[in-house]
Amino acid sequence: MTKGEMKKVSPSIDDWLKEAKAHPLALQEGMFLVHNGVVRQTPKAQVRQGLDDGSLVKGMEFAYNAAKVDAAIAETYKMEGIFYIKVWLNEGQLSLGDDIMYVLIGGDIRPHVIDALQFLVGKIKNECVTEIEQKQ
């Protein structure tokens, strides 16, 4: 990070929930789920595939395609029982423990909200972002 460059400030989930509950469709919502992805020390390949090369993550370069994220959100809104979605993505050089993303989903019943969260976070991770782990 160059001198004078500011990191993005993570959102307040309390504020997000207040905003969501004030939304015109809020009375149709029976639950909200929040996903908060953070930069972890264990490499993705080790966690997901069991491939341990002895390295540790020291940071991550993170970027996203806003148009693809917007399209993924629009697709998620088409799912049954989903009335509210809010997404925040970080960007640039991230350190261990930094927030990568927040996703909030509001919907009518638990199965619909869980399915929508799984769908949207998966779509964002697989199709909309670039994560380059820096290892030590």
Distance, C-alpha 47 to centroid of its chain: 18
pLDDT band at 1 (very low <50, low <70, confident <90, very high): very low
The Cα 130–Cα 127 span in angstroms is 9
**What superfamily in CATH does domain 13-135 come from?**
Molybdopterin biosynthesis MoaE subunit (3.90.1170.40)
Q: What does the pLDDT look like over 92-134, one tens digit per residue?
A: 999 999 999 999 999 999 999 999 999 999 999 999 999 999 9
Q: How does pLDDT run across 73-94, given as a tens digit for each residue?
A: 999 999 999 999 999 999 999 9
* Entry pTM: 0.90
Provide the sign of the torsion angle of the four alpha carbons 26, 78, 73, 119, taken in this order.
Answer: positive
**For the chain, which residues make up each domain, given as ranges?**
13-135
